[in-house]
């Protein structure tokens, strides 16, 4: 049985769709994980909403002290 390019494409299409959806799913998961890591690695100033180093105890943007925020 001879398979033309169209038949081969039709046979491969489901596999390609599965691979494609897995790739998209993994990419989305990676993006979510990366964003989660970024958000976990930084904290937000309660005053000016600037992203800060989690070790910081004074906001580098507005100089607000963050002791209370750190405890919470
Ligand atoms: Zn601030």
Q: Work out how many domains the chain is built from and give that number.
A: 2
Looking at the structure, tell me whether residues 13 and 34 fall in a common domain: yes
pLDDT of residue 28: 94
Q: Please check whether residues 16 and 35 belong to one and the same domain.
A: yes
Instruction: Give 58's DSSP letter.
Output: B
Cα–Cα distance, 33 to 30 (Å, whole number): 5
- List, as ranges, residues with CB under 5 A of the ion ligand 1: 45, 47-48, 50, 59, 61-62, 64
CA 31 to ligand 1 centroid distance, Å: 27
CA–centroid distance, residue 70 to ligand 1 (Å): 13
Distance, in Å, from the CA atom of 70 to the CA atom of 10, rounded to the nearest integer, reads 58
What pLDDT is recorded for position 39?
66
Dist. CA 8–CA 22, nearest whole Å: 21
Domain of residue 68 covers 43-72
Q: Is the pLDDT of residue 2 over 80?
A: no
What would the pLDDT profile of 27-70 be if each residue is shown by its tens digit? Answer: 999 998 888 776 677 888 989 999 888 888 899 999 998 875 44
| CA 8/CA 38 separation, integer angstroms | 44
- Neighbouring C-beta atoms of residue 51, cutoff 10 Å: 13
pLDDT for position 42: 82
Confidence at residue 43, expressed as pLDDT on a 0 to 100 scale: 84
Q: What is the pLDDT of residue 68?
A: 59
- Residue 54 Cα to ligand 1 middle (Å): 13
């Amino acid at each position: 049985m001879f398979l033309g390019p169209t038949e081969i494409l039709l046979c491969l299409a489901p596999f390609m769709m599965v691979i494609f959806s897995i790739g998209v799913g993994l990419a989305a998961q990676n993006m979510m994980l990366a964003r989660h890591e970024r958000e976990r690695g930084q904290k937000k100033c309660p005053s000016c909403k600037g992203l800060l180093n989690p070790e910081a105890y004074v906001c580098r943007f507005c100089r607000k002290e963050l002791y209370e925020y750190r405890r919470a």
